[in-house]
Structure 1
Amino acid sequence: MSVGESGTRGPGNGRGPGGPLAGKVAFVAGASRGIGAAIAQGLADAGAAVAVAARSETEGRVPGTIGAVAARIEASGGRALPVPCDVSDEESVEQAVAATVSAFGGIDVLIANAGVLWMGPVETTPLKRWQRCIDVNLTGVFLVTKAVLPQLKARGGGSMIAITTTGVDMIDRGANAYWVSKAAAERLYLGLASDLRGDNIAVNCLSPSRVVLTEGWQAAGGGREIPEEMVEPPETIARAAVLLAGQDASGITGTVQRSEILVPQG
């Protein structure tokens, strides 16, 4: 999808309106709906120019498209570019990053959010479901990180954030492909934080403190009823992502953060 098709005003040079992230460019993988869309909007509201990256160019079984998210950001006064991107495909990722750099001049912030959900018990998990979780939730994080990293180094620093889940810690509740893939992504980013400290790049993981009832959760959550007190609005994790996006290696780095702990609710 082109910029014109999304109804945007044009990407310009990545210099957004005033705000804590003014002048920054953010690449948000998995931004067509849910947590990714909320974070993309939050970053734009904070002044960043945002690449809205995901596979969803047209409406499908689960609602949400990159063009619709970019159009909402533009309508609210922000600056966004819809970028088709399959995080499990290296060529697609490289093309998405190249399109972002061409439009905005570089990248300062990565949000590695793209994910698929499978929470069935191991003994009834089809291999294709296990592999898909690994391909998207782990290899996808690796591929977008690998592609974006040279851009952050060229800018003299920046921030990389992988979106994970509190389920990583819930070993008393058994095992599933989703939690295992997210646990591996956390290990990847904790190690990267050490590797990249000398490049002035903050590397952190961020998860909701409670359940965010995204479109993906509604489609794949097995019809589970979630008590109201266990539900977190997506805007909460968006505020936490904005805070981490403003970091470099001199600030918060090498951590796994929970949204409502990082940004306490008033």
Structure 2
Amino acid sequence: MTKALSGTTIIMSGGSRGIGLAIAVRAAREGANIALIAKTDQPDPRLAGTIHTAAAAIEDAGGQALPIVGDIRDDETIASAVEKTVAQFGGIDVVVNNASVLNLSPSADLDPKRYDLMQDVNVRGTFMLTRAAIPHLLASPDPKVLTLSPPINLDPRWLAGHPAYTMAKYGMTLAALGFAHELGRKGVSSTCLWPATLVATDAIGNLPGGDQMVKVSRRPEIVADAAFEVLTTAGQSLNGQTVIDEDLLRSRGVTDFAPYSMTGKDEGLAPDLFIG
């Protein structure tokens, strides 16, 4: 049988670990070619895995991997990554904007360099990677842009708690919605995806109190399964939508979410930021 993503080429920002890697491995199981742009070339004691271990996991899962060491903030890196991806796989069908920086500092405590880092990786990286891939997306029979960013929720608690991070994540969503309206009429479907609960990643685990937060989180595989549903939904039906992983999976017939939980029980989970 032909696999669902056989012949599909994905270019992804980040992906060495966490949600990005889970999405890449899930797509690889269905035959996708995956180019990863990530910075982690050598092991880091604070972080699990490198771009090279991610590439190995993709190939072990049945896909083809193209690891590209580089910084998504760098325009030359992006241009070169797109060029290499097209040269190796013949085109680009999907852009996954996964790279993101998390910093929940209040405004007075946030170093300007950290502010710039969040804006440059989250917002600018999302925009520029997608922009660079547009000519190739337009040549694909069913092109997708998938951005890991939240619904825009103007509840004051998200603005009051960590304005800079909220701005950076909402900026990703606005970029994705912009692509949906600008490119949707040309056949490109742009969708945002966000988890209903906290997800056990290094970004969460390395925060103060991270060990406890991980215990009330789900595994990255729930986001990966939802991403697979987005990428295999033909046409424009999800264009311009911000999808919550659990809601989408329920709509596709999933009823048992306990296996996704870190504890094996679908109870006592913490909702993710910007939810509710």
* Length-normalised TM-score, structure 2: 0.84
Question: Displacement, 1:206?
Answer: 0.6
Question: How many Å separate the matches in 2 of 1:204 and 1:27?
Answer: 15
The structure 2 residue matched to 1:188, chosen from 175, 199, 202, is 175
AA in 2 matched with 1:50: I
Residues 152, 173 of structure 2: 8 Å contact kept:
no
Closer, same or farther in 2 for the Cα pair 1:208/1:110, shift >3 Å?
same
Classify the secondary structure of the residue corresponding to 2:35.
strand
Q: Name the counterpart of 1:256.
A: 242
Is 1:22 the equivalent of 2:10? no
Residues 46, 242 of structure 1: 8 Å contact kept:
no
Which whole-Å deviations, capped at 9, do the CAs of 1:5-47 have from their partners, x for residues lacking one?
Answer: xxxxxxxxxxxx8322122111121111111111110111122
Closer, same or farther in 2 for the Cα pair 1:50/1:68, shift >3 Å?
same
AA in 2 matched with 1:44: A
AA in 2 matched with 1:145: T
Is 1:123 the equivalent of 2:105? no
Which whole-Å deviations, capped at 9, do the CAs of 1:225-250 have from their partners, x for residues lacking one?
Answer: 2274x412100100111111124543
Matches of residues 123-202 of structure 1 in structure 2 within 5 Å? Answer: 123-165=108-150, 171-173=156-158, 174=160, 175-202=162-189
Question: Displacement, 1:168?
Answer: 5.1
Question: Displacement, 1:118?
Answer: 0.4
Residues 200, 250 of structure 1: 8 Å contact kept:
yes
Q: Name the counterpart of 1:83.
A: 68
Residues 109, 152 of structure 1: 8 Å contact kept:
yes
Segments of structure 2 that go 5 or more residues without pairing to the other structure are 257-276
Question: Displacement, 1:156?
Answer: 3.9
Closer, same or farther in 2 for the Cα pair 1:81/1:249, shift >3 Å?
same
Question: Displacement, 1:218?
Answer: 1.9
Question: Displacement, 1:166?
Answer: 6.2
Q: Name the counterpart of 2:197.
A: 210
Residues 35, 85 of structure 2: 8 Å contact kept:
yes
Closer, same or farther in 2 for the Cα pair 1:249/1:172, shift >3 Å?
same
Matches of residues 73-112 of structure 1 in structure 2 within 5 Å? Answer: 73-112=58-97
% identical equivalent positions:
32
Question: Displacement, 1:69?
Answer: 0.8
Closer, same or farther in 2 for the Cα pair 1:163/1:32, shift >3 Å?
same
Is 1:69 the equivalent of 2:54? yes
Question: How many Å separate the matches in 2 of 1:77 and 1:247?
Answer: 21
Instruction: State the Cα RMSD in Å.
Output: 1.9
Question: Displacement, 1:77?
Answer: 2.5
Is 199-208 or 256-265 further displaced after alignment? 256-265
Matches of residues 236-247 of structure 1 in structure 2 within 5 Å? Answer: 236-247=222-233
Question: Displacement, 1:93?
Answer: 0.9
AA in 1 matched with 2:184: R
Q: Structure 1 stretches (4+) deviating beyond 4 angstroms? A: 166-170
Is 163-172 or 255-264 further displaced after alignment? 163-172
**How many residues end up aligned between the 2 structures?**
248
Which whole-Å deviations, capped at 9, do the CAs of 1:157-214 have from their partners, x for residues lacking one?
Answer: 4000110146856532423322210101111111211111221110011111111121
Is 110-119 or 72-81 further displaced after alignment? 72-81
* Length-normalised TM-score, structure 1: 0.87
Residues 159, 248 of structure 1: 8 Å contact kept:
no
Segments of structure 1 that go 5 or more residues without pairing to the other structure are 1-16
Which whole-Å deviations, capped at 9, do the CAs of 1:142-166 have from their partners, x for residues lacking one?
Answer: 1111111111112244000110146
